[in-house]
Amino acid sequence: MGWWDRIGQLLGAKPPVQDAGSASALAPEPAPELTLDDWQALCLALGQALALDDSDELWAEVRQAIEQPAQYLDRFDNDLVKRGMDEPEHVTPWLALVEGLQRRGQNFELDWKLTMEDAIWVLQQLQAVQQRGLDWQALAGSKALNHGALQDAGDYLRGQSLSLVSFDIDSDSYPLSVLETSAAAPLQGLAERIGGKLVLLHN
């Protein structure tokens, strides 16, 4: 069984179809209880998709943000101050995950006001892109701006079997990563399970 098959098992099989006339068919299903296992699965799956050599350490950072937010804040205060995170209650595991990927060169945050030149420069900083040695000439002359520029860049990457994704942090910036296209949907499912959102950027 492959890695993504195991992720599919974690996400769970679809529930059996209920008879339309039964009371249980009308009642909404309770939301699954969030566990540390869900966060660990997401961290390790991202590590697998991005070929991290310290996926366990990434998970340890996120777990510390969950269980010991004050210690996490002390540990990474220089990184977090720019986000206005100066109290333990400001610490979230989702932001800890984004910060952890940024420290590892696998996520780069870009303001929403951007040109295609900005988008290309940022993408070239990502290790997943650097390893591919992509030719950006097809986009170099584009006049697309802002979200449109990222969508065009995402279209180009799709042609290379890659997906451009943004980690939604409820801000006007784009924390960007590039994944193998085959990994994008399973990771979106894992992110949704813990209440996060990975946004695919393409037209």
- State how far the Cα of 28 lies from the Cα of 61, in Å rounded to an integer: 35
* Residuewise pLDDT in 10s, the chain (203 residues): 444 454 555 555 444 344 444 444 455 555 556 689 999 999 999 999 999 999 999 999 999 999 999 999 999 998 898 888 899 999 999 999 999 999 999 999 999 999 999 999 999 999 999 988 899 998 988 999 999 999 999 999 999 999 999 999 999 999 999 999 999 999 999 999 999 999 999 99
Q: Render 103-120 in DSSP notation, one character per residue.
A: HTTS-EEEESS-BHHHHH
Domain residue ranges in the chain: 3-7+35-200
List the beta bridge partners of residue 164. Answer: 178
CB 77 within 8 A of CB 43: no
pLDDT on residue 73: 96
- State how far the Cα of 157 lies from the Cα of 92, in Å rounded to an integer: 30
